[in-house]
Amino acid sequence: MRNLRRIAVLVSVLALGLCGFAGTARADSTLQTVLKRGEFLAGITADSPPSAYLDAQGRQVGYCADVARYLARRLGVKLTFVPVTAASRIPLLTTGRIDAEVAVTTPQKVRNEVVDFTYSYIWDNGVLLVHAGASTKPEDYQTPSKTIGAVQGDGFIDRWKLVSPSAKFQLFHEASDVAGALRKGDVDAAIVNQNAAVLFVRAGGMAMTSPWTNSPDAIMVRQDDSKWRNWLDWALQRMWVEGTLQKLYVKWFAVEPSFSLGDYGQIQPRVMEIGKTGDPWNKLPDGFLDTLLGPESWKLD
Amino acid sequence: MDWAILWECRAALAGGLAITLAVSVLAIVGATIAGVLVGCLRGSGVYLLQRMTATYTELLRNLPLIVKLFFLYFVIGLPALPAALAALVLHQSAYIADVTEAGLRSVGRGQLDAGLSLGLKRWQVYRRIILPQTVRVMLPPMTSQYVSVIKNTSVVALIGVADLTFQTQQINVETFRGFEAATAATLLYMLVAGAVIAGMTRLQRRQTMVR
Amino acid sequence: MTGAVRGTAIGAANPQVWIWRALVTVALIVSAWLVTSLDWTRVAPSWQFLLLALGRSWWLAIIAMAIGIAAAVPLALLRVYGPRWPRRAATLLIEAVRATPELMIIFWVYFTLPVVTGSQVSAWNAALGSLSVIAAAYLAEVVRAGLYSVPREQREAARALGLKPFAAFRLVVLPQALRNMLPALIAQLVSLFKTTSLVYAIGVMDFFRAVSVTNNAVYAPYPLYIVLAAGYFASCWTITQVVRRFDPAYQLLD
């Protein structure tokens, strides 16, 4: 009898203690903010084809745009694209003007010091864009006599300097200006990611070298926002289990993804267990997936 | 606010300033030559020349500078620096032509007749009497045109020329200290413009003294 | 093309007139042939997007003009009627903005506003802010010239009639000044419209950027540059002609 009472007291003290812990108000996770607001502010770029770019009518299209549309629908909120640039994406994120950047940002240590990243959802490479008929070996462009074109602030620049310390650069304001400079011969090669290079090569007159580095891209979120990052990680893994992510990958990049989401390529067990509080996963309306995987996914905006 | 970053990036800012100065000087010289030429042609009284120069100035003044710059660089295919200089010269010469024509018109016809009646040859009248007066009248508007040239050189950053504006952007993407860099660059531009204005004012004063 | 061409009374029988007309006709025929020989099918689907962007450029110019005038009038008043130190401060501010490159002002406002407001502003707001600053600085000079253009007697007569200073200014001086400055104001609007092309550098979808985006999507530089030039030229030239109708002698030294 006395032991039972002791246990009861212990349990109630523990319970009160735990309540006290739960009572310490933690700052709202972005997930809660987005749900409460009813709107997902997705930062996205306009000059990273085919991942995130504007079509000839100025509509936001690309792999990242479609992923953002899917995520918003699963959250059950409205989607708003917020245009960002390489220079503004981190300030916009840290000051709360966007909830996440769903574009092509590579997780790097210097970036991880100020923001956090989900699992990589684009497995890209760095290549050089060159004139048709020129050498396709990246080593041939590591001599000081070659001028390399790039956009100011491009993350590839520092990595190319590691590979080729004596490199000469010609920097431009925008990716399209770099391509223009390559076309007219002001630069011998332009640093681009492979996915974009494929499109340029298809347009004609240019070729691309073999990859000289890898370039995974992930969704960028605010520092220490684990609940939001977790949800996005689960969402990406669920898209993978469904097969939607692979289909979107093929739609935009014309190849099957050469990677698998998750830790060491493994999906977390029980990620499909949906429906707990704090894990919204709305049903998709009929026809949504078909439109998303079709050529006119911008209609879903 | 981290102003120390400006000292660390002083090489970049100095390089940018040098390029801005060089491009400004070359563009001012080029635009003056082209503009005065067109202006004289326009004030010559020959109908055909007036029509052609009027077309020249109208075409160039109703297009923004970067349209001309990008056309010369991307479509015509000139290298960066020549394209920049050509665009700046074309752009400003249209305005300088108007300034020149106004200046020529302001010097009365009577001066020419008086000079000829005094027995001077035509070219002597122009050199000794008309031109000095024209230059004196044109100096103030010309000063503002030169300041315009200096300001317009900032667009060459958009085609990859490493001028002051380009370096501002470069400092921003590397250190995220855009505000400090932009403030420094703005002050440097004002310095350059101030120097030109001071020089032109001294020229003006000297002209007035040698009357 | 008309310009402020004077000094030559020319008759239609003069051979120069016919040479000029012949040159113009040849130029028009050659341009028409060049334009029709280009491939417009790839550019055609984007016409709505481009037209909308042109409208957006105009919208930027008009709003910046409105804000600029609202800021310029107090500045000009300060310079004309103000006490010594505020007058010097206003002059310094105006001259500082006028000595700075427009692209630099745009970048500076784009970098400064987040520091001032505490959060990153949208590219559109930064563009509007910087264009308004530019407009205000140049319009302050226009307003000041307009105020000077009204003879002193007007103000004195208004005061003599018993109007308070501010009423005298508002009812007598300001309307006349505005009427005198109208050509200069419209000229500033045209100049501002051309300056809006620079906001492409901070990501605003103006006419220039729209053409650039279309060129990335469908690589067709020749038709697109013609569209670009035609858009800006047609807009600026028609407005300039309107100004010339008001005041033929006005020299648009912008």
Partner-chain residue, chosen from C118, C210, C212, that has the shortest CB–CB distance to A176: C212
Q: How far is C48 from chain B (nearest CA, A)?
A: 21
* pLDDT for res A24: 43
Higher pLDDT, residue C39 or A4: C39
pLDDT at A21 over 50: no
Enter the ipTM: 0.85
Is B200 strand, coil or helix? Answer: helix
* pLDDT reading at A192 higher than 80: yes
Does residue A20 or residue A46 have the better pLDDT?
A: A46
Lowest mean pLDDT among A28-37, A278-287, C243-252: C243-252
Residue that is written with structure tokens 């990273």 in the block: A48
Mutate: best of A94, A95, A151, A199, partner C, most C CBs <10 A: A95
Phi then psi for A48, rounded to 5 degrees? Answer: -125, 65
At residue A129, the pLDDT reads 92
Evaluate if residue A177 carries a pLDDT over 70: yes
pLDDT above 90: residue B25: yes
Kindly indicate the confidence band of residue B132, based on its pLDDT and cuts at 50, 70 and 90.
confident
Given this model, what pLDDT does residue A27 score?
A: 66
Average pLDDT on B12-16 reads 93
Q: Are strands A60-61 and A52-54 parallel, antiparallel or unpaired?
A: antiparallel
Query: Each residue of A233-266: pLDDT tens digit?
Result: 999 999 999 999 999 999 998 888 887 787 777 8
How many whole angstroms separate alpha carbon B29 and alpha carbon B98?
17
The residues near C51 (Cβ < 8 Å, ≥ 6 apart) are none
Runs of H (alpha helix) within chain A: 2-23, 30-37, 63-75, 89-94, 109-112, 155-163, 175-183, 194-203, 226-242, 244-253, 288-293
The span from the CA of A181 to the CA of A176, in Å, is 9
Q: Cβ–Cβ of C119/A49 closer than 8 Å?
A: no
Which residues share a beta bridge with B144?
none
CB pair distance less than 8 Å for A186 and B80:
yes
Task: Render pLDDT for B53-80 as a digit per residue (tens, 0 to 9).
Answer: 999 999 999 999 999 999 999 888 898 9
Q: Which helix (H) or strand (E) holds B25?
A: helix B10-42
Kindly report the number of other CB atoms within 10 A of residue A285's CB atom.
10
Q: Residue A84: CB partners within 8 Å, gap ≥ 6?
A: A43, A44, A45, A92, A98, A101, A103
Largest Cα span, chain A: 92
A vs B, Cβ pairs < 8 A, gives: 40
| Chain A residue set in contact with C, beta carbons under 8 Å | 46-47, 49, 53-58, 82-83, 85, 88, 91-92, 95-97, 173-174, 176, 179, 203-204
Phi-psi region of A115 (alpha: psi -120 to 50; beta: other; left: phi over 0): beta
Tell me what pLDDT residue B121 has. Answer: 80
For residue C226, which of A54, B55, B67 has the smallest C-alpha distance? B67
pLDDT at C3: 42
C-beta of residue A137 within 8 angstroms of C-beta of residue B119? no
**Half-sphere exposure (CA, 13 Å, Cβ side) for A271?**
20
Contact C108 B71 (CB under 8 A): no
Q: Are A87 and A211 in contact (CB under 8 A)?
A: no
Burial of C251 (0-12, 13-18, 19+ CB in 10 A): middle
What is the spatial distance between Cα C243 and Cα A259, in angstroms, rounded to a whole number?
Answer: 64
Cβ separation of B170 and A171 shorter than 8 Å? Answer: yes
pLDDT tops 60 at residue A106: yes
State mean pLDDT over B15-29: 95
With contact defined as beta carbons under 8 Å apart, do A120 and A216 qualify?
yes
pLDDT, mean of each 10-residue run, chain C (254 residues): 47 78 92 88 88 94 95 89 89 90 89 72 88 94 87 84 82 83 88 93 88 81 91 92 72 50
